[in-house]
Structure 1
Amino acid sequence: MNTQDTSPARRAEPLTRRLHWPMVIGLALFALIRPLFSIAGWSEVLGRPATPLALTAVISAVWIAVAGLGRVREPLLQLMAAGIGYAIAATLLSAALSPVLEGELRGPLTHPIALIMVCLTNAAWGALCGLCARGVQRMRHVRH
């Protein structure tokens, strides 16, 4: 995973250089299973609100496992970025599919404040997962 050092000079680097992009993008795209379940109608078939909540728990567990069991530096930063990446990907998915499925553009792009809130909410979700991943690393005595 991301094996660069976390010295003060490293922390002064721009965030874009500190991110492990393949992992961030992969985790963000993995989280798209949640809106895809909704789009496909599986969330309704399997039951709401249990299905979206269960999917969120599974996604969170995968994120925590990847960052906590891997040798990921700065899991809080990495998973916050994954949360924001998911927010952007889900917004783009909504923008692409809502006109086809519902006949008009729907979702966060129709309300700019909603887009900000979606990004903040998913950044917070990523941060919470990142804190949990850091806890897993500490329990495993992982040092960077």
Structure 2
Amino acid sequence: MRTGSAGLSWPLIVLLGVFALVRPVLNITGGMDVLSRPVGPVLVTGVISVVWLVAVVWWRSERPVGTLACAGLVYGVLAVALSAVLSPILHSELTGPLVTPGGTGVVMVLLVNACWGAVVGLVASAVGSRLRRVGR
């Protein structure tokens, strides 16, 4: 995939951010209840994390930490937007991070998801380095 001047692949970032929407979609559709709680959310988050890790290692991302932190931000923005669109339809009122005082809910969604991506990126960086050493 093409990388920008900062060594980030924006198509990959957007693709991974969109992929992570499987989590809120499962919540909305009741799929998370089928998986049971609290196991379902942890399992889905783990699967998303593994997919993210494999993707940046497979495509040999120059900056896996930055790539996945940005993917987390893309996911966060999309999840907030999805909540803003669907909560009035499903609950007859706006709910979610947009209704928190001072925008703290949105900030926390973005911060948590950027951190999640960065942590997975750190693991991916270590895995990628290890694979490059072994492959010499």
What TM-score does the superposition give when structure 1 sets the normalisation length? 0.86
Paired residue for 1:86, among 63, 75, 98?
75
1:38 aligns with 2:27: yes
CA contact (8 A) 2:8 2:61 kept: no
Which amino acid letter does the alignment assign opposite residue 93 of structure 1?
Answer: L
Which runs of 4 or more aligned residues in structure 1 lie more than 6 Å from their structure 2 counterparts after TM superposition?
none
CA contact (8 A) 2:3 2:9 kept: no
Gapped regions of structure 2 (runs ≥ 5): none
CA contact (8 A) 1:64 1:129 kept: yes
CA contact (8 A) 1:2 1:73 kept: no
Paired residue for 1:57, among 46, 56, 61?
46
Paired residue for 1:23, among 1, 5, 12?
12
SS of the residue aligned with 2:13?
Answer: helix
Q: 2:63 corresponds to which residue?
A: 74
Map 1:92-111 → 2, pairs under 5 A: 92-111=81-100
**Aligned-CA RMSD value:** 1.5
Identity in percent: 42
What TM-score does the superposition give when structure 2 sets the normalisation length? 0.90
Which amino acid letter does the alignment assign opposite residue 125 of structure 1?
Answer: W
Q: How many residues align?
A: 131
Gapped regions of structure 1 (runs ≥ 5): 5-12
